Chains A and B, each alone.
Chain A
Amino acid sequence: MRLRYPDTIRIVRLPCTGKVDVGYILRAFEKGADGVYVVGCMEGDCRYNRGNLRAKKRVAEARRILNIVGIGGERVQMFNLSSAEGPKFAQIALDMTEKIKAMGPNPVKLKKMKKAA
């Protein structure tokens, strides 16, 4: 298919979205990520039964915490698609990039950069 999607996205491969931890998401923001999205299998199609449903709850928890710390929970999102949906994957990458670009950079990263300057 050789689809193109924005090169601003760094993919972190996990064996299952059930491996996603709230700490992973927070650490990504602490290290300067402007947004994070988790792409899991379709609900009901998890090879490990509940991995993607667990990820869904953890993404919700990460959103709650990011709202408290002032980064904004809407910078994290979860998507469910099958491995046959390459075009949808590329479209999500594009949509998410545009959404985050419209929101501007991660405020914590900006503060860190200002401090370093």
Chain B
Amino acid sequence: MIVADRKPIEEIIEYIKDRDKVLIVGCNECVTVCEAGGKKEVGVLASALRMYFMNQGKEIKIDEVTLERQCDHEYLEEIRNIVDQYQAIVSLACGVGVQFMSEKYFKTQVYPGVNTCFMGVTEERGVWSERCQGCGQCILATTGGICPVSRCAKRLLNGPCGGSSKGMCEIGGEVPCAWQIIIDKLTALGRLDDYEKLAPLKDWSKERAGGPRKVVREDVRQ
């Protein structure tokens, strides 16, 4: 899933302080799972903002809605009839949802309500960590299903650097060395010979370095 973290309430207050009517829009997908932008978080943020502005003597109408997704037209369409009633929208979706909303409702200001962090997993409730950088050319088949692009600080493709110590990365912060995990996994699979094979040069143009990317599938396109 796409992992996001809540923005400080103070930052959102700054965004909307001069508005009269604001809609807070949550998303039922990834940000619900990582507890940053689902229905519950929308309720808490809206309640906090209403109380803050009421306490400041400012009248701001703050409404709440949570959509199934914000990265698809059909769900964003659900608010078309009400969107004109608001001067601004605070979207608690990931950056994708915020942008799609902003593109779709071009005359409405859309503010981000979360900081979008990475594509990752729930290690345990309250702990999420990165697993994929969307490099566009997946090499997991050769690395035992462990990704050195997203999990090695240097994105090394042919084994660890000298900073790997007792299974941990030299950057600190209890980051495991991706290559240690890869070697452990290949050992468990009995495929340590794969480790000896040199990875070919990676085509980084398929990553973000090649500019904004697009996938077009003519077989399913309408």
Contacts and interface: CB of A to CB of B under 8 A. Distances in A.
Contact of A70 (B44, B47, B55, B59): B55
Interface in B52-66: 52, 54-57, 59
A22 B44 contact: yes
Interface string B54-84: 1111010000000000000000000000000
B44 to A, nearest CB: 5
B159 interface: no
Contacts of B49: 69
B51 A71 contact: yes
B9 interface: yes
Contacts of B202: none
Interface in B91-147: none
A29 B59 CA distance: 17
B47 A111 contact: no
Kindly state the interface size class of chain A when it binds its partner. 10 to 19
Contacts of A26: 43-44, 47-48, 51
Nearest to B13: A68
Interface residues of B, number: 16
Contact of B51 (A22, A23, A29): A29
B48 A68 contact: yes
Contacts of B218: none
Contacts of B57: 111
Given A108-B54, A108-B55, A111-B57, A68 B47 contact: no
Contacts of B9: 65, 68-69
A27 B44 CA distance: 8
B10 interface: yes
Contacts of A98: none
Interface string A67-85: 0111100000000000000
Nearest to B125: A54
A19 interface: no
B50 interface: yes
B55 A68 contact: no
Contacts of B47: 23, 26-27, 30
B40 interface: yes
Interface string A52-95: 00000000000001001111000000000000000000000000
Given A27-B43, A30-B47, A108-B54, 12 more contacts: A21-B40, A26-B51, A29-B51, A65-B48, A68-B48, A69-B51, A69-B52, A69-B55, A70-B55, A71-B51, A111-B54, A111-B55
Interface of B: 9-10, 40, 43-44, 47-52, 54-57, 59
20 contacts: A22-B44, A23-B44, A26-B43, A26-B47, A26-B51, A27-B47, A29-B51, A30-B50, A65-B9, A65-B48, A68-B9, A69-B49, A69-B51, A69-B55, A70-B56, A108-B51, A108-B54, A108-B55, A112-B54, A115-B59
